Amino acid sequence: MAKTTLAAPAEHSAEWSPILQELESLRRKVAERAEFVEDLAHELRSGLTFLRGYVDLFLAGTLGPISDKQRHALEVMARRTDAVLHLLDQMLSLERARAGHLELSPAVDIAEVVQHSVQSMRVAADQAGVQIEVQCPPCLLVEGDARRLLQVVDNLLSNAIKFSYPGSKVRIAVSDDGDEVGISVADEGVGIAPEEQQRIFERFYRSPRGSGKADGTGLGLVIVRAIVEAHGGRIWVESELGKGSTFHIALPKRQERARSAP
Ligand SMILES: Nc1ncnc2c1ncn2[C@@H]1O[C@H](COP(=O)(O)OP(=O)(O)OP(=O)(O)O)[C@@H](O)[C@H]1O
Ligand SMILES: [Mg+2]
């Protein structure tokens, strides 16, 4: 999203001036806060990654033999450190998504984004005993940021796998819906109660029904929604408790431009 320059209509410039100054000062404060969060998260991230590396060295026995008790303690440390690292990554992603900075490419093929994401989720799906089915026509193009769109599909697929039962299926489908490209991710998992279907898009909200089952920070869907909206798209969910959930995304299709002669 480009930075908007605030300007008053010429005939009212004197009345508008203090309001615009106030808005400009607020905009600067928001930008400074975002920068501060980003710097802080980066610093914490590098420190923790360093510590995490030492935990791995201990666990691998590189620094000498360890007892079972020590192994157990180190494994707990590794898990807790991974959870904080994940939280920091999600916070960084959220700050970037909210700032709306997109690296726009004129033509991102959604089929490629989906295939890429499915490949990277295969291991997690196998571990959870979940089968992923893909239905994806080639060459549905949107103007957008390929990396951020990949993050959107990754988050939805990761949720679908996380909240599925072993032996069930996750279906991801891409469709040509006129002016929009549709992406849906459907699972046969735990489902979301009607009263929670809006709340899951709030920061840090995690359903008490699912959170015991799986790790997470409750920021994934906030990031997803911010990225989808920065692309001018929409996201919504349909779900039934105990039956499963389908997340839908609609993204504006790339406008066909007059082609120059080859
Ligand atoms: N496919 C799904 N099936 C059932 N519940 C879901 C599904 N997707 C999301 N939820 C519910 O919405 C909550 C918020 O999801 P979100 O992706 O924002 O966070 P998370 O997955 O818990 O953590 P994170 O994505 O930050 O690692 C989840 O904790 C879960 O309760
Ligand atoms: Mg998630």
Question: Is the pLDDT at 97 greater than 90, yes or no?
Answer: no
Residues whose CB is under 5 A from ligand 2 (ion)?
Answer: 159, 220
Residue 110 buriedness (CB in 10 A; 0-12 / 13-18 / 19+): buried
- Torsion over CA: 148, 149, 150, 152 (sign): positive
Residue 141 buriedness (CB in 10 A; 0-12 / 13-18 / 19+): middle
Confidence of residue 187 (pLDDT cuts 50, 70, 90): very high
**How much is the average pLDDT of 230-239?**
96
Single pTM value for the model? 0.84
Name the CA radius of gyration of the chain, rounded.
22
Mean pLDDT of the chain: 90
Q: What is the pLDDT of residues 13-35, one digit of tens each?
A: 778 888 899 999 988 888 888 88
pLDDT at position 261, please?
Answer: 45
pLDDT at position 10, please?
Answer: 65
- C-alpha span between 248 and 182 (Å, rounded): 7
pLDDT at position 8, please?
Answer: 58
pLDDT at position 211, please?
Answer: 55
Classify each residue of 66-101 as buried b or exposed e, where b means 16 or more C-beta atoms within 10 Å of its C-beta. Answer: eeeeeeeebeebbeeeeeeeebbebbbbbbbbbbee
**How much is the average pLDDT of 120-144?**
95
Question: Is the pLDDT at 165 greater than 80, yes or no?
Answer: yes
pLDDT at position 1, please?
Answer: 42
Atom of ligand 1 nearest to the CA of 189: 3
Pocket test for ligand 1, best of 206, 217, 246, 248 (most atoms within 8 A of CB): 206
When mean pLDDT is compared across 78-82, 137-141, 238-242, the lowest value belongs to: 137-141
Confidence of residue 2 (pLDDT cuts 50, 70, 90): very low
Atom of ligand 1 nearest to the CA of 206: 29
Question: Is the pLDDT at 243 greater than 50, yes or no?
Answer: yes
Question: Is the pLDDT at 46 greater than 80, yes or no?
Answer: yes
DSSP letter string, the chain: -PPPPP---GGGHHHHHHHHHHHHHHHHHHHHHHHHHHHHHHHHHHHHHHHHHHHHHHHTTTTS---HHHHHHHHHHHHHHHHHHHHHHHHHHHHHHHHT----EEEEEHHHHHHHHHHHHHHHHHHHT-EEEEE--S--EEEE-HHHHHHHHHHHHHHHHHTSPTT-EEEEEEEEETTEEEEEEEE-SS---GGGTTGGGSTT---HHHHTTS---S-HHHHHHHHHHHTT-EEEEEEETTTEEEEEEEEEPPPPPPPPP-
Are 177 and 233 contacting, i.e. CB atoms less than 8 angstroms apart?
no
* 177 beta partners: 180
C-beta 186 within 6 A of ligand 1: no
C-beta 249 within 6 A of ligand 1: no
C-beta 164 within 6 A of ligand 1: no
Closest CA relative to residue 48, chosen from 12, 86, 76: 86
Ligand 2 centroid to Cα of residue 52, in Å, is 23
When mean pLDDT is compared across 38-42, 173-177, 248-252, the lowest value belongs to: 38-42
pLDDT at position 173, please?
Answer: 97
Ligand 2 centroid to Cα of residue 222, in Å, is 9
Q: What is the pLDDT of residues 188-229, one digit of tens each?
A: 999 999 999 999 999 999 998 765 567 889 999 999 999 999
Q: What is the pLDDT of residues 135-160, one digit of tens each?
A: 999 889 999 999 999 999 999 999 99
Are 115 and 126 contacting, i.e. CB atoms less than 8 angstroms apart?
no
**How much is the average pLDDT of 8-17?**
72
Ligand 2 centroid to Cα of residue 224, in Å, is 9
pLDDT at position 13, please?
Answer: 74
pLDDT at position 262, please?
Answer: 45
- C-alpha span between 147 and 93 (Å, rounded): 11
When mean pLDDT is compared across 45-54, 125-134, 182-191, 202-211, the lowest value belongs to: 202-211
